[in-house]
Structure 1
Amino acid sequence: MSRLGLCVSGVYAMFLLWAIAQERLSVPFQSVDGQSTHKFKSALFIGTCQSFLSSLSALCYIRIRGKSGSSLFSLLGLDVPSSFPKTNGSSKANGSSNTKVFINGHAQSSKPQSQIALPSDASSYRKRLLRGYLQCSTFITLAAPFGFAALSYITYPTMVLGKSCKLVPVMLMNVLLYRRKFAPHKYLVVAMVTAGISVFMFFGNEKPSKATFNGDSQSPYGQLIGIAYLLINLILDGATNSTQDEIFSKHKVSGQQMMFWINAFCTVLSTALGTLPLPYIPVIHPSSGAQSEFANALAFVKSHPSIVMPLVQFSLTGALGQLFIFETLQHFGSLTLVTITLTRKMFTMILSVVVYNHKLTLGQWLGAAIVFAGISVEAFVKRKDVHAKRVLQEKEKAKIKSL
């Protein structure tokens, strides 16, 4: 529980600061001439800054915590598990499931060979692993611009609460992509979260940030566009989390190794999209005239220097926060991670209301209460399950002693 407590504290501290910076980046900045304000539109540039710092922080963590004398392949999680014999999958490994083995510098419990899909050779193992990382990175690179674009049409508290529906796509993608099943109470949690979001949206009357200067956001269809962007963001997030679970189940890698590779690939993908003179693509590449998006982004930073501080805060806190995110993901799974981030979003929404003076109606507070009541059900059941497992473990220990 001490590890879980550290993960929760780290996620809360880093991502509350991250959220403040994110909302600040979504509204216009004053130009150096002091007479005009413009909105920063390059989500790819923001994402590149964060993913680069995230991969760098993960690499530093791996180097500091890694076993001395380990090869670079081992440190980065590309070694084929040497504790298991290479086989065509028809034979079974000898040994108890309680035996501890070391893989990529981390203690792991060995499992019967029939439960572990081993590659035929080192090359195919690495290709499969890197392909999984690239898949996650593609989802993340595409998801971020949709989340950023949604803020032009919906308020930040609405987006925060909408992101609380992440349990829905995570479960949906786990079922559709990997045929996983979940306990009945999780479907109740999803229903409560969805109902709460619906109530919150129905009673909302505040416009998006007062200074967006986006005419479309004031149209009758503006909020529907924002919700559509948010739904795309959530579906891609769900695909990311379910793929990460699949990687952890099939490959013995640490959370920080995954963090390094995913963010390294994200940096490459977003840099390629940002530097190529692509034509105008809604959301993904908003620069017009077949111009490089990064060139426009750097020109904006030069003419609007006040963006530098929130950009640094967003990138740095996001990078450090991901260390705790992937530690949680490795040891506790994506649904536990989602539960932690959902409770963090409750405080994020309250902090946003206080810092940026958002006005929520009584109906919206009711919707938020329903959402977080659903989250509380998930937390209560999980705590009950952990307690039951501990009692069972104590009974097993007592039996062993009596023998």
Structure 2
Amino acid sequence: MATSAVGPIFGVLGSCMGCMVFVESIAKQEPSAMNLMTFSTFLFIATHGLFFTSKFFTVKNQIPLKGYVKTVSMFFIVNVVNNQALNFHVPVPLHIIFRSGSLLATLLLSVFLVGKKYSMRKYVSVVAITVGIIICTLATSSQEKNSGLSMEEASKHYKEWAIGIGMLTFALLASAYLAICQQQMYEVYGKHPDEAMFITHFVSLPLFLIMGGDILSAADKLSASKPYPILSSFLPVPSLWVDLFASCILQYLCIKYVYQLNSRVDSLTVTLVVTLRKFLSLIVSIIYFKNPFTPTHWLGAVLVFAGTLAFADIWGTNAAGKPTAEKKKQ
């Protein structure tokens, strides 16, 4: 592997995993803050792009704004729905596993919307991913039913959890369609990742007005959180605001490093690194936050991640990193 790719690989693993730690910390302490968290991330990335990418709109866009319409719409929906699902009692480990099933949705939409054809191995991989997600979902469902709550509380808890799963399912399909929209946009206008990163976040900001009341309410709750321990002696900053700011920085770095990695190595290596990041995030979530994870969950998780790697043909590449004959024929 080229030395130039080492930095982005560690950047992806470190920043993306770190971001998930702060996101889960916020979700556990104040689950109603998910819209605020999404808005803050968009605002941070848009502000950074305004200064360094657009240079206050003095740099001409390579892609016209009309080319971003579908991409921005789907990007906004996917991010909001994914984060909002955490507000419906969806455990973060299950959230990670669900989002790891994006290949399933991508394959389905690619077949039905774009007319692509895939080898039998890829269909088997997707079946493994699907079965893994179902196993994890059913295992979590069983935990929800036996949560030790009263019948009325358990019923409400279970209904909210079911809504969260529905939201994740919708987001899974929407993210696959987003990938198709981005691919079509790049085919027409060329690849301009920094510009696309800035525009998709900046243009989405006015859409958060529809949830302004919820965002302001969450901001008040974050302001009421206990002071951050390290800073409390000389600067009583609410701890959840520190967590939110840290998650914004790490989310920006995560996206930036993925873009860098994508420009320096082949797509298979990117898939491997992103899959490894998700698996390590899952381990951190289970150990650090003591999330319940049964042997049944592990079985489902192994199926999901193994299916993802098999789909990407990680084991079907030779030492030089060139695709096998089967890959070339596709």
Deviations 1:116-160 (A, max 9, x none): xxxxxxxxxx2xxx2332322222222233223322322111111
Larger RCO: 1 or 2 (CA < 8 Å, sep 6+): 2
Aligned residue in 2 for 1:35? none
Residue of structure 1 in register with 2:232 after alignment = none
Correspondence 1:20 to 2:21: yes
Classify the secondary structure of the residue corresponding to 1:314. helix
- 1:143 paired with 2:143, answer no
Q: Work out which of the residue numbers 22, 29, 53 in structure 1 matches 2:44.
A: 53
- Partner in structure 2 of residue 224 of structure 1: 162
Tell me what 1:362 maps to.
295
Distance 1:203 1:294 in 2: 33
What residue identity is the alignment partner of 1:321?
C
Quote the residue 1:268 is aligned against: 206
> Counterpart amino acid of 1:387?
G
Partners of 1:18 and 1:313 within 8 A in 2: yes
Aligned-residue RMSD, C-alpha: 3.3
Please, which runs of 5 or more residues in structure 1 have no aligned partner? 29-38, 65-70, 79-125, 276-291, 392-403
Alignment partner of 1:294 is 2:215: yes
3-state SS of 1:49 partner: helix
Q: Summarize the alignment of residues 83-232 of structure 1 with structure 2, pairs less than 5 Å apart.
A: 126=64, 130-151=65-86, 152-204=88-140, 205-207=142-144, 215=153, 219-232=157-170
Give the letter for the 2:39 counterpart: T
Please give the residue correspondences for 1:314-325 in structure 2 after superposition, counting only pairs within 5 Å: 314-325=247-258
Higher-Rg structure is 1
Q: What's the TM-score once normalised by structure 1's chain length?
A: 0.66
2:35 pairs, out of 9, 20, 44, with: 44
| 1:31 aligned partner | none
* Separation of aligned partners in 2, 1:385 and 1:145: 40
Cα shift at 1:318: 0.7
Number of the residue aligned with 2:233: none
Flag the 1:48–1:345 CA change in 2: closer, same or farther, 3 A: same
Q: Which amino acid aligns with 2:62?
A: G
Q: Return the TM-score normalized by structure 2.
A: 0.79
- Residue 135 of structure 1 aligns to a residue whose secondary structure is helix
Percent pairwise identity: 18
Gaps of 5+ in 2: 226-237, 326-330
Shift of 1:349: 0.6
Distance 1:160 1:370, change over 3 A: same
Are residue 245 (structure 1) and residue 178 (structure 2) matched? no
Counterpart contact for 1:57–1:320, Cα < 8 Å: no
Alignment of 1:327-346 (within 5 A): 327-328=260-261, 337=270, 339-346=272-279
How far the C-alpha of 1:316 sits from its partner, in A, is 1.0
CA contact (8 A) 1:137 1:266 kept: yes
Task: Summarize deviations over 1:228-248 as a string: whole Å, max 9, x none.
Answer: 111012112112122111122
Residue of structure 1 aligned with 2:224, choices 294, 303, 309: 303
Residue 72 of structure 1 aligns to a residue in which SS?
coil
> 1:383 aligned to 2:320?
no
Is contact 1:54–1:320 with CA below 8 Å preserved after alignment? no
Q: Tell me the number of residue pairs that the alignment of Structure 1 and Structure 2 aligns.
A: 303
Q: Which residue identity is paired with 1:178?
A: V
Which deviates more from structure 2 when the two are superposed, residues 349-358 or residues 192-201?
192-201
